[in-house]
Structure formats: C-alpha cells, structure tokens
Structure 1
Amino acid sequence: MLQVGPGKTYSVPSAAAAVAQSGDVIKIAAGDYRGDVASWNASNLTICGVGGRARLFADGRNAQGKGLWVVSGSNITIDSIEFHKATVPDQNGAGIRAQNGGYLRIINSGFYDNENGILTNPGSSTVSVERSEFARNGLGDGYTHNIYAGAIDKLTVTSSYFHEAKVGHNFKSRAKETTLENSYFMDGPSGTASYVADFPNGGKVYLRGNMFHKGPNASNPIAISYGAEGLTNPTNTFEMVHNTVVMTRSGGAFLSVPAGTSSVKLTANLFAGTGSPTLMAGGYAVGNASQSNNVTSVASNIPGASSIATPNFWPNSTLQALIGLSVVPDSGYTRDAPAPYTLRAISGSRKVGALQAAP
C-alpha cells in the first residue's frame, strides 16, 4: 500500500505513480493537490481518496500533454478523486486520459471544468462510471465533452450526474456497447451543450431509468443522437426503457436515429417537450420502432426538471394521472434514482418514466 498526503511516504500522487507496481493500492489523503499531474503506467491498481475526496487541480500543468492523469496500465479502479481544470496546448486536455487496456472503473469521483472530463483512446477496453459527477467540462469548441469514450468495447454508467457541458455533449460514446442506468444528463437553464447524449457510431445502446433535460440555450435541437456519424459498430440497436426526457428548448426532436439502425425499442418512456418537438428525426421510420406504454406531454408538467442544484423530474398532478401502468414492462427495473447518486427499491404500481414515486 502506498500512502499519499501531508506527512505520508509520498507527498503528492505523482510521486506514488512513479513507483507504483502491479497490484498496489494507493491511498490519497483528502485535500487539495495543486499543480500535481501524474502518469499511471502500472496495472491492477486501486487509487482512492481517504477521509473524503482528494481534489486535484491542474493549475496549468499537464501529464504528457494530455491531461491531469494519464492512465496506461490495465485494470484500474479510481475512487473518491476529483479532477479540476485540465488544459493542454492542443485544447483537448482531460481530467483522465484513458489509454489502457482491460477495465477502468470510476467510483464516487468528480470531473469539473476540464477541457474533457474523461477522454479514452480506442481499443479493447471497458469503462464503468458509478456515483460520479461530470460538470461544465468542454472548451466551448464543440469537440470537447463531459465524457468522450472512443471506440472501446463497453461503457457502463450508473447513478451518476452529467451536466452543463460547454457546447460539446453532456455524454458521448463510440463504444460497441453503451449502457446508461439511473443517471441524470442535464443542460439546466443556462447550459449550452449540443446533444444531451450522443452515440455517433451507433452500437448496442441501452438506456434505463435515466433523466434527460435539454435546456433553452442548448446548441442543438436534438436531445439524444444515435448514429449521426455512421453506423460503424458491429451491432446497432437502440433501446430505451423507463426514461424521462424533458426539453425546455423549443421544437427539435427528442431522438435522432438513422434509417440503417437494426432495431429501435421504446418502452414506458415519458417525453415532455416545448413547442411540439417530434419524437424521432434522422431517417428511421417511427412506425418501424417497437413502442409500448410511452407518454408524450409538455415540459411544463415537469416543472422541476431544469434545476441543476436540486433536479426534480417528478410530474405534476395533471401528468401523474396519465402515467399509470397496469403492467410491469421490465421486470429487471427494480431500482430508480430520485436524486443523483441515490438508488431506492421500487415498490407499488409502476409508472411511465424514470421516477416511480415522488423524490
């Protein structure tokens, strides 16, 4: 075990990174670490904050010209670490630049005001994100995002919060398979993100129990985009179950899906818009989608959905009367998320959308 912090064997994370060996556990004392950047080359590491989150501030420095941390070893777990204000000369700096094989697991961590939150290289790897926050990342050029997964094998997100990306996307994945569950993806009242979620090369995409909000200042009229840059993945299916999508930007479309997509399945989703957005653009015929128990309404019936500080996607009484379900369309949907990072067991009768009871 390598201990990092004031009075510890290693005063800063980069010192531990320089000597870490396969299988090490690196414990970083909670607190601020300014201008310390690191390259993690060993594999099978667990790197965790102790006594709270360890907060890393780039302060104009970078590792390898790529970001705050560059992760090259395989099978890495990062827990309770914050990454702030990563910048690099080519304007593509990341809180974490992941160029590893195996898995990268992010738990209870935060990515704030970086050019990219996480940026992954393409390759045979998987990334999972749990109970983490990605806020205000992006340079503002449209090419940098809260998270940007390259052409990897799989990306999984649970119980996390993505909001206010700067002109880029709140979430972007080119992975062969992407699963998002019980998470929030939001512009808020002033966010300028393009897509709330973007899957530019298609893939096997499964969205369940998520809250999506597209705000009035968003840079693009589409909320969720699939396959806009070509369906280059081996399997191209898009499925949404028990999500709530709110658009306070007028017009546009909730979804964009191209004609070549193998299948689209929409079950028990709640779509609430402003200015009559269409359900689906992009070329895929809406009539070819498998649809059941979806409800379309207006955004004013979910009045709390725009709040970044305390997002509340619970419908008002008018809409509640329209979203009851007499069936259980997805028996695997056993937990919902009344707030970011919070899960609760679902009990009682089911409802359309991501929330099954008031927060």
Structure 2
Amino acid sequence: MRLTLVLALTAIAGTAIAQDGGTPFQVAETGQSFARLSDAVAAIGDKQGTILIAPGTYGECAVQTAGHISYKAQVPGQTIFDGGICESKAALVLRGRSAAIDGIVFQRMKVPDRNGAGIHLEKGNLTVTRSIFRDSEEGILTGGDPSGEVVVDQSSFSGLGRCDGEASCAHSIYVGGYGSLTVTRSRFERGNGGHYVKSRAARAIIQNNAFDDSRGKATNYMIDLPNGASGMINGNMFVQGASKDNFTAFITIAAEG
C-alpha cells in the first residue's frame, strides 16, 4: 500500500516561476495565468474554479475566504509547497465554501505555536486526493463545522506530529468538530509524536489504509475518535512501533472523556 510518486525538486525564490519558465498558476476556466497563488485565488473569488499548478517547488501560501476552489497539480507529485505559511497557520488556509486539493506535496511547515500544517481548514468541505504531507508539524488541521465533511483519499503522511509539552500536540491529521471524516487508501508512517488520525467529527469512515509506525518516534494512537462517534473502521493495516509514547491501543474512542 506504499504510495510512490516521482518528485521533481526545483528551488525557487522571489516571484514563483514554473519549471518551464512560465507563470505557474492558471485558472482553468478563464485561461488567466498568475505568478502568485494568492492572485489566482482572488481571481476566482466567490465563484467556482480550478487552479492548475505547474511542476516546481514554491514558497507559496494562500488564504481562501469564499467560493469553491480546486487546487490541482498539473503533474501529481511534482508541485511542491515548501515551507510557505499564511496567517502563521498553513500553506493553504481555507474558509470558503469548499476546497479540493489534488496531487500536491506539502513539506517543512512550521509556525511559532508548533502546529504548522499543509492545510488549515476553518469551515466548508474539503477533499484531498493523491497528495503528500511530510516533515512538518501537522499535515491537515481543521476547526469545527458540523455541516461540513472532510475526505482524504490516496494520500500519504510521514514525518509529522509532535507532543513535547511545549505546546498543544500536533498530529498527522487532526479534524475538529466536523460532520464527517472519510480517510481511504492512504498511508501513515514515521510519526514524530501525537496521533496519526485524531478526529472529533461526529462520523468517521476509515478504510483500506496503512498505518506503519515501525519508524515512528514517541507516537500515540493510530486512530483517536470522540465519545459518541459513529461510522466504520475496516480493511486497515497496522504496524506497531518500538518507540511509542503510548502502547495501550491502536484505536481509541472517548480517550478524553
């Protein structure tokens, strides 16, 4: 179940430039191209649109406050967001009506409160497919939206999390009070603390994933769900690690009361 993606690394400073020398962010519906991701997001505004992102490594970030926006790598695994942070939160801060992310790599996300994420979702629906989250404090972090849903499919999470007592623990995925969370066909490995999936969503579907903690350090639960949660967990593979902070369970429900 290991996901293998070929990654092309290109160091870019200043204005974002695609590997072919062009402007990297194009709104598919209009054909407009932009040198900054934030400008492409602003061009869509409260409408629905898709931003096609050229291969390259970018120190970009953006805040989406409206609309339905898809962020799509032209070549999956070759669009890399490397350390760019907005609002001291994440590379993508999302509070529009919905967002979809496809084929993007998020890496080296760090912020002062130790919860730097690839994606920080505050409200609205989110779908993540074929994406990689690695070597950051957090992969995906959300607030609460009881009417919203989060879907993650065919993605990988590695080198994430921390729980060192200096700030609130960080996790590979931490979903707050959402209506539902679905995680399928994804891989979690090499955690640095916290949980691999921590959810406070009312409903959780977690199916056909690999949780490999063999190279984890000071990790906790594989899956942590809230009191009263409903849903289904099946078809997953779990590998226990030798260097855990908590060996008591792979899956826990209502651990916080």
Could you say which residue in structure 1 is the equivalent of 2:90? 67
Q: Greater CA radius of gyration, 1 or 2?
A: 1
- Aligned-residue Cα RMSD (Å) equals 1.7
Shift of 1:221: 1.3
Q: Is the 8 A contact 2:192 2:216 kept in 1?
A: no
Q: Give the conservation status (yes or no) of the 8 Å contact 1:74–1:104.
A: no
Instruction: Give the CA deviation at 1:18.
Output: 3.1
Compared CA separation, residues 190 and 228, structure 1 to 2 (3 A): closer
The equivalences for 1:1-359 within 5 A come to 5=18, 6-8=21-23, 9-21=33-45, 22-33=47-58, 35-53=59-77, 54-58=79-83, 61-101=84-124, 103-124=125-146, 125-141=148-164, 143-222=169-248, 223-230=250-257
CA distance in 1, matches of 2:238, 2:254: 19
Q: Secondary structure at the match of 1:51?
A: coil
Aligned mates of 1:41, 1:130 — CA distance in 2: 24
Cα-to-partner distance string for 1:256-291 (whole Å, 9 max, x where unaligned): xxxxxxxxxxxxxxxxxxxxxxxxxxxxxxxxxxxx
The whole-number CA distance in structure 2 between the counterparts of 1:189 and 1:106 is: 25
The Cα offsets for residues 53-107 of structure 1, whole Å up to 9 and x where unpaired, read as 310001xx42111111101111211101111111111111211000122x20001
CA contact (8 A) 1:192 1:218 kept: yes
Indicate conservation of the 8 Å contact 2:201/2:226, yes or no.
no
3-state SS of 1:90 partner: coil
CA distance in 2 between counterparts of 1:40 and 1:108 reads: 21
Deviation at 1:140, TM superposition (A): 4.1
Residues 215-239 of structure 1, C-alpha deviation per residue, up to 9 Å, x if partnerless? 1111101221111112xxxxxxxxx
Q: Which amino acid aligns with 2:254?
A: G
Q: Give the CA deviation at 1:190.
A: 4.4
Query: Secondary structure of 2:85's match?
Result: coil
Counterpart contact for 1:164–1:170, Cα < 8 Å: no
Q: Cα distance, 1:209 vs. partner?
A: 0.6
Determine the structure 1 residue equivalent to 2:30. Answer: none
CA–CA separation in structure 1 for the residues paired with 2:103 and 2:38: 17
What's the offset of the Cα at 1:20? 2.4
- What TM-score comes out, normalization by structure 2 length? 0.82
Shift of 1:11: 2.2
Q: Is the 8 A contact 1:186 1:196 kept in 2?
A: no
CA contact (8 A) 2:94 2:122 kept: yes
1:196–1:214 CA contact under 8 A, matched in 2: no
1:157-183 deviation digits (Å, cap 9, x = unpaired): 110011122111111111100011111
Local SS of the residue matching 1:7: coil
Equivalent-residue separation in structure 2 for 1:167 and 1:221 (angstroms)? 13
Unaligned runs of 5+ residues in structure 2 are 1-16, 24-32
Amino acid at match of 1:43: G
Overall identity of the aligned pairs, in %: 35
The structure whose RCO (Cα within 8 Å, separation 6+) is larger is: 2
| Preserved contact between residue 75 and residue 103 of structure 2 (Cα < 8 Å) | no
TM-score, length-normalised on structure 1? 0.59
Contact 1:174 1:202 in 2 (8 A): no
Distance 2:204 2:179 in 1: 9
Q: CA deviation at 1:213?
A: 1.5
